[in-house]
Amino acid sequence: MKRKEDDRFIQGKGNFIDDVKLPGMLYMDIVRSPYAYAKIKNIDSSEALKIPGVVAVITGKDLKEHNLHWMPTLMSDTQMVLPTDTVMYQAQEVAAVIATSRYIARDGKEAVKVEYEPMKPVMDPKKALDADAPVLRTDKEGKTDNHIWHWEVGDKEATEKVFNKADVTVSQEMYIPRIHVVSIETCGCVANYKKATNHLTMYMTTQAPHAIRTVIALVAGHLGLTEEKIRVISPDIGGGFGGKVPIYPGYVIAIAVSFLTGAPVKWIEDRTENLQADSFGRDYHIKVEMAATKKGKILATRFKVLADHGYTDAAANPSKFPAGMFSIGTGSYDYKTAFMEADAVYTNKPPGGIAYRCSFRVTEAVHAVERITDRLALEIGMDPAQLRFENFIKKDQFPWKSPTGWEYDSGDYQAGLEKAMKAIDYDGLRKEQVEKRNNGELMGIGIATFTEIVGAGPSKDFDILGIKMFDSAEIRVHPTGKAMARFGTKSQGQGHETTYAQIVAEELGIPAEHVQVEEGDTDTAPYGLGTYASRSTPTAGAAAAIASRKLRDKARKIAAYLLEVSEDDLEWEPGKFFVKGAPDKVKTIQEIAFAAYTNHPPGMEAGFEATHYYDPPNLTFPSGAYICVVDIDKETFEVKVRRFVAIDDCGHIINPMIVQGQVHGGLTQGIAPAMYEELIYDDDGNILNGTLMDYLVPTAVESPHWETGHTVTPSPHHPLGAKGVGESPTVGAPPAIANAIVDALAPYGITHLDIPITPQRIFDALKAKGILDTEFAV
Ligand code: CDP
């Protein structure tokens, strides 16, 4: 890439972290632990340092001299940058090798000899609180167990009472396994510290550049690296999905080495490191219960959760909600009583808890409620679609207060499910299923009707490390009527360059191609909390609309002055103001922009710029109705998703093509955990499928043809009526697929299977029921 050092990145032009090449740049590779839990007895870097081109080998002890060996996490926990004595998970960073090329750094890494004294790790979160479990976080003074936090919401006693009296109760234990975001691009950075100016430019693959700048200042402030001396530039990113929100040790080591050597330092993970050391989501053990009447009226739900966060709680979660928005788990149904509790524990796994393409634990919560709803349908012999229709919150009940305290803004769940059922011919499929079952064939139909909760957030409720979760837009219209719009969010492929330009264009009438969108440079963009949890449209998208409207108000004043009429005499049409009843007396937005710099009304501030920091009054509550049809091979137990209809409701749609793209990608990331993906560790803490040879990420080959559609229920409080959409399909697809597979197997007494539902899992479940392949006919 041809560019001068520290040039401003233009987003959407293919400038990725690997393209950053600075003069005199050093390269870093990382020595990682083969053990999940071990004492470090010795690190011998003498052979590595003999390799020409190896500049240094950095250990935790080196960092300790500058008090840089620990760092805060985004959940107010602490994390080792490099260990001084103990490693806590397999693939943990142990030492960093700095060299003049990437290849020499890799040779140097192979030459570093580390002596370990392995210890028995804690791998099962259910045993992490046992009296004989070793206390893992001995760095925390007074810590006597592996408990991280307890969180609860709802009314425990009232829920107990409802459960005690209910006609029917169903209960299910389930595990939502640890999986990986597997973005196409791994994580990486270039830290460029200049001694002369005491200034750090940090190019890094981050979804939240401003928050990261603040955290770097908190970590390195004592070395004089204060926030105004730090510039974070997040270039184009090849997928984030939550995995590029946390701060990983590699970033901090690169900064420390650049600080110590005065040279730019580049660190880019390879695929295996990425898959083994960071960006993990889920790992939730859930017991979910539902109480109902015999006729299928849902009365209450109860959730008990155990969250495995690995050795530190490093995920980004709003401070007040350590289990994120798990409490959306009451679902799309109208009942008054619920109780949820969650406990998080430390284990010897890498830090987990990433909100993988979901609004902080919504995927886990929705899976639980949609599975238990089907479980109830099976128990009382009611069609799962009918059960949902009986219990939906009705269109006229919004705004609706959930038993866990949320106020759902709007929704029309009935319309969504009806549309999905019509599109897939639900009644026809059920008839076909009866015939197939009579012939002993395995066909299943699964439904998920989910409500999401996105757009964190109202700053009264949502902060990360105390930083309020608003977001921002700054629009500068130049004299010639072309605009620059900058945002506190950061696209990782969601197309903000297109949709934000569209919002400004729709609001101001400036053609979208004349609006240059920029994100990801803390020196130029207004402060914001970044892009994850489908929050960009609900927050920065709203900020773009309001900043545009501020400009329109100013434009009206300028137009009135130029046309010599009162403001009330003017009418707006996108792109121009004209005098009511005299459409030829007109000033275009371009003429108005020019006048703002050349001929503005006396007393008015010159220029044509506006900024807005948008603090939403509420979250937005998108919803979806998904229906999946599967056929299961009776000999191999391979599941074929024959059809999948996804009807989404994200309120007003800004760009239908982008939304459809978001839904297609998200559905594929939904079939992945439902049928293929799970990270597996043995009792010694070894990851058993830590390469893409063993960890099956579905491609176009495994993906079915997605049939998508939408209903539109605008958000009443968002300036455009829009709700987020980026994560809905990842949330809705797994329960729809799991429900379909269980539906296919229900005649054989199977009421639940944990995801990923592999052929082996189906085989084992049928075998456990004593079903042989000759006995499929009912
Ligand atoms: O925060 P993130 O960008 O991941 O999620 P989002 O706000 O749901 O937006 C994903 C993409 O879909 C963006 O380009 C949005 O502008 C677009 N979108 C849209 O066109 N209409 C909506 N109602 C919601 C999102």
Q: Of 214, 250, 283, nearest to 95 (Cα)?
A: 250
DSSP E strands in 48-162: the ranges are 54-59, 70-72, 78-80, 86-87, 93-99, 113-118, 147-154
Torsion of Cα atoms, 747 then 749 then 755 then 756, to 10°:
-60
The amino acid occupying position 552 is R
pLDDT score, position 774: 53
**654 Cα nearest atom in ligand 1:** 20
Structure tokens of 327? 């409490």
When pLDDT is cut at 50, 70 and 90, the band that residue 316 belongs to is confident
Whole-angstrom CA distances from 744 to 38, 80, 384, 433, 674 are 46, 47, 13, 9, 15
Give Dmax (Cα) for the chain. 90
Q: How many CB atoms lie within 10 A of CB 608?
A: 25
Distances, alpha carbon 663 to alpha carbons 614, 625, 656, in Å: 26, 13, 10
* Average pLDDT rounded to a whole number, residues 134-152: 97
Structure tokens at 720: 């455009």
Taking the centre of ligand 1 as the mean of its atom positions, its distance from the CA of residue 514, in whole angstroms, is: 21
Return the active site residues: 207, 357-358, 727
User: 307 C-alpha to center of ligand 1: Å?
Assistant: 29
SS3 content of the chain, % helix, strand, coil (to 5): 30, 25, 40
519, 662, 720: residue to mutate for ligand 1 pocket, most atoms within 8 A of CB? 662
724 lines ligand 1 (CB under 6 A): yes
Nearest to 556 by CA among 598, 608, 514, 612: 608
> Is 534 touching ligand 1 by the criterion CB < 6 Å?
yes
pLDDT score recorded for residue 13: 56
pLDDT, tens digit, 9 for 90 and up, residues 516-561: 999 999 999 999 999 999 999 999 999 999 999 999 999 999 999 9
pLDDT score for 773: 55
| pLDDT attached to residue 223 | 82
Burial class of residue 131 (count of CB atoms within 10 Å of its CB; 0-12, 13-18, 19+): exposed
pLDDT tens profile 727-751: 999 999 999 999 999 999 999 999 9
Q: Provide CB contacts within 8 A for 136, sequence distance 6+.
A: 37, 88, 122, 146, 311, 346, 347, 348
Burial of 640 (0-12, 13-18, 19+ CB in 10 A): exposed
pLDDT tops 50 at residue 220: yes
Instruction: Report residue 430 as tokens.
Output: 């059920």
Exposure string (b/e) for 71-108, b if CB count within 10 Å is 16 or more? bebbbebebbbbbeebbbbbbbbbbbbbbbeeebbebb
658 lines ligand 1 (CB under 6 A): yes
- Is the distance from the beta carbon of residue 15 to the nearest atom of ligand 1 less than 6 Å? no
pLDDT(383) > 90 = yes
Phi and psi at 315, nearest 5°, equal: -70, 160
Which one-letter DSSP state was computed for residue 674? I
Beta bridge partners of 475: 485, 610
Centroid of ligand 1 to alpha carbon of 256 (angstroms): 36
The model carries a pTM of 0.96
Asked if residue 650 has its Cβ within 6 Å of ligand 1, the reply is yes
The mean per-residue pLDDT over the stretch 103-121 comes to 98
pLDDT at 257 over 90: yes
CB 126 within 8 A of CB 287: no
- pLDDT, tens only, 396-438: 999 999 999 999 999 999 999 999 999 999 999 999 999 999 9
Nearest CA to ligand 1 atom 5: 534
Q: Whose CA is nearest to atom 2 of ligand 1?
A: 534
**pLDDT exceeds 70 at position 5:** no
The pLDDT of residue 4 is 42
Per-residue pLDDT tens digits for 439-482: 999 999 999 999 999 999 899 999 998 899 999 999 999 999 99
Of 58, 2, 69, 11, which Cα lies nearest the Cα of 31? 58
> What is the reported pLDDT for 778?
46
CA of 495 to the centre of ligand 1 (A): 8
Of 65, 307, 559, 361, whose CA–CA distance to 567 is shortest? 559
Minimum CA distance residue for ligand 1 atom 19:
654
502 lines ligand 1 (CB under 6 A): no
Residues 13-47: tens digit of each pLDDT: 568 999 999 999 999 999 999 999 999 999 999 99
Tokens of 547: 């900043």
d(CA 760, CA 612): 54
Cβ(735) – ligand 1 distance below 6 Å: no
For atom 11 of ligand 1, which residue has the closest CA? 494
Decide whether any atom of ligand 1 lies within 6 Å of the 536 Cβ: yes
Across the range 327-343, mean pLDDT stands at 98
680-709: per-residue pLDDT in tens? 999 999 999 999 999 999 999 999 999 999
Q: Is the pLDDT confidence value at 496 over 90?
A: yes
- Give 261-300 pLDDT, tens digit per residue: 999 999 999 999 999 999 999 999 999 999 999 999 999 9
Stated as kind and residue range, the H or E segment containing 442 is strand 442-451
Cβ proximity of 585 and 576 under 8 Å: no
Amino acid sitting at position 84 = T
Specify the range with the lowest mean pLDDT, choosing from 71-85, 315-329, 502-516, 762-776. 762-776
In the structure, what pLDDT confidence band is assigned to residue 8 with cuts at 50, 70 and 90?
very low
- Give the C-alpha separation, 232 to 591, whole Å: 36
In testing the pocket of ligand 1, which one of 537, 652, 669 has its CB within 8 Å of the most ligand atoms?
537
What average pLDDT does this structure show over 136-161? Answer: 97
Cα 681 versus chain centre, distance:
24
By percentage, how much of the chain surpasses pLDDT 90?
A: 93
Provide the 8-state DSSP code for 152: E
